Amino acid sequence: MSAPTFLPEHFINRELSWLEFNARVLEEAQDASNPLLERAKFLGIFASNLDEFFMVRVAGLREQAFGALPPQDPPTDGLSPLSQLQRIAFRVRQLVEQQYECWTASVRPALAAEGVRIHVEADLTPAQRKNLDKFFRQRAFPVLTPMAIDPSHPSPRFHNRGLYLAATLRRTHGIGPGRMFAVVQLPQVLPRYVPIDPESLTDFIRLEEVVAGRLPELFGGYQIVNVGAFRITRDQDVDLLDEEGDDMLRAIEGRLRARQRSEAVRLEVSADMPPELLSLLVEEEQLKRGADGGYNEVYPVNGPLDMTGLFELIGQVERPDLRDDPFAAKVEPELREDADLFASIAKRDFLLHHPFDSFRPVVDFVQRAARDPDVLAIKQTLYRTSGDSPIVSALIEAAENGKHVTALVELKARFDEANNISWARRLEQAGVHVVFGFMDLKTHCKLALVVRQEGKKTRRYAHLGTGNYNPTTARIYTDLGLFTADKVMTEDVAAVFNFLTGYSQDHAWQRLVVAPQDLHRRTLELIDEQTQRAAAGKPARIFAKLNALVDRPTIEALYRASGAGVPIDLVVRGVCSLRPGLSGLSENIRVRSIVDRFLEHSRLFVFGEGEDQRVYLSSADWMPRNFERRVEVMFPVEAPELKRRIVEEIIPAQLRDNQRARELSADGGYSRVSAAAGQVAIRSQHVLLGQTPVEAVPGPAPPGSTAPVPAAKPSERKSKPGRKQGEQKSLSHGKHKADRNGSDKSRDKNPDKTGKRGSRAAK
């Protein structure tokens, strides 16, 4: 078989593929079968995702197109930066129009029908206006700052994603120019959705409506001629370390300050924004408006700006009947609080599949180590963690208890830098040995190591995971983790920490595959091994579950495997640059994406069939950055019962999902998978929650096949489990807490705390 020739048209553009992922998030908001408040949540996630896309991906393309900056990773499809920007702008306008149509014509009226009403000023009764007048005088007026724009009052520096009102004013008496422009920022300390009656959280009005109707109180002596709202998105893809320095922590702090002064990349304006105010903003921010190859960075919006504010509304509405059903996460008996955790792990490995399995044992692992007199040392990587992290608190406690504690804190975790700097300072003050990894590599692997004295022997215990050490996101992301005391595996884990803290590179890896040294090479080898088996007529198979598939050499290896007859199933949540189903190239590859209640975040790989089957978990996606610019770990699952759980339970549920799965076609479009007549409705996350009987899901489908799923017998159906006390009641899909005045909270930002402005977006 001659080697295939790979052309640009064999690949899907990364940025356009990401927009299609966000379109799938939007579909969940449009889906009337989802609970109503969950639909509103998905609208917020869509908006939050789009914010980050502009701040990072569009910002980078803009620098390439207009600043002649070479791309870090050339696009596989060969599109120029300007062509990508033009196509992005076109698709974004389509999607945003659908987003606001969904809110205006569907979600908002449905909320009103359920008694949750969003009012405008003209609808209010005199009593309601009186309540809002009181709110304005007592809470809003003291913190609002009216800002005139004239020669003596230059235009202020508008904050990234801050929400502003802009007004044209005419003087009626007193001093000042006869006509001027002015702005008012709507600060985050005020609620975005203001309860009209504080005693009854059923009727709300947006903050901008309240303030716009009372601007004369802020600008005494002036008449308000017209008013509009606007919001600016800025380039946040600032290189945090563009040169080496003696103090990484201080260098990053300085670069974070530079972010607030970065260039604008998008201007969202209300449909009623006066043209002269719009022109002023465009000129002031030096935005593109059609002159550069037709690329326009101004986005008029026919509805409320900043839909991430819906997270706050959801948090205020106490209607559990409009949310997803609660669930109780499972805990294996050997890992419960009353069990001897270390003795259990010493006997066998444990696989945890979050959020279906509780994250509590992972927290216990570190907390018990902190208090166990036999524990000598704890080593931990921290990429993103929660604001009130029990993991970090346990590390501090361990250091205070005299244990040797090392924490690898990744200061370059995008949008978590400030949070991680704060944790690093606290850890150092407590006596933890804090290291920051490498200047030019992000430490993205998820590892925890405990060294324990047991009689005359020293034993290591490890946790390896696909997701962050964050108890909050562990309830809303699907991730896999492994507890092990295996001597060889834990020796490898110890060697990773030695590499991170001391550049030690002479260890001969036995179980772990580590980037940037070997992960790319080994991944290609594993794919090529299956290619050779298929070419020799032997059983072969590849399954991969990822967040993103972009790396060109890996895609080409998969194309070659498909050409050799290897059946390949890929579950890629987000970006996928591979085109399945191309004649003579990828006919044996099937790609699906699952977007549901929980963010699909785990990375899982299976190579081969039967006794030759190899199962791996990893912190890495198949992207150039993961292979080349990050410290990542891929680790095997070797215990037969754990492999069976993955191969016979988790994977079949993913491949048989006909409710929340979409399949990718060769043209780059996605189509929703539906249950045919006589088929069981299989929703993989419900299966894993126990809300659909596992026995109703047959074993693994032959990769690439669409064999029907037989209907379940009525006796096989199980009722939904009740909610255990302390488990999360309402779960968000999303991963990015986007606030409105420019500060970014934790990137694993607490999506469940929806009373705050923003949520972690589904990335």
Please list the active-site residues: 444
What DSSP letter does each residue of 404-457 carry, written as one string?
Answer: EEEEEE-TTSTT-HHHHHHHHHHHHHTT-EEE---SS-EE--EEEEEEEEETTE
Alpha-carbon span 80 to 59, nearest angstrom: 15
Helices (H), 307-357: 310-316, 341-347
Bridge partners (DSSP) of residue 163 are 231
Give the helix/strand (H/E) hosting 136: none
Alpha-carbon span 375 to 448, nearest angstrom: 13
- Nearest CA to 450 out of 365, 565, 544 is that of 365
Alpha-carbon span 482 to 467, nearest angstrom: 11
SS (H, E, C) 543-610: EEEECCECCHHHHHHHHHHHHCCCCEEEEECCCECECCCCCCCCCCEEEEEECCCCEECCEEEEECCH
Q: Is the dihedral of CA 736, 14, 602, 516 positive or negative?
A: negative
Give the helix/strand (H/E) hosting 331: none
Alpha-carbon span 367 to 364, nearest angstrom: 5
Alpha-carbon span 526 to 535, nearest angstrom: 15
What is the SS3 assignment for 632? strand
Provide the 10 A C-beta neighbour count for residue 67.
9
What DSSP letter does each residue of 200-217 carry, written as one string?
Answer: EEEEEEEHHHHHHTTGGG
Residue 175, token pair as written in the block: 């001093």
CB 464 within 8 A of CB 482: yes
- Dihedrals phi, psi of 51, to nearest 5 degrees: -55, -50
Rg, C-alpha atoms of the chain = 27
Alpha-carbon span 331 to 353, nearest angstrom: 10
Alpha-carbon span 198 to 513, nearest angstrom: 56
Alpha-carbon span 193 to 170, nearest angstrom: 30
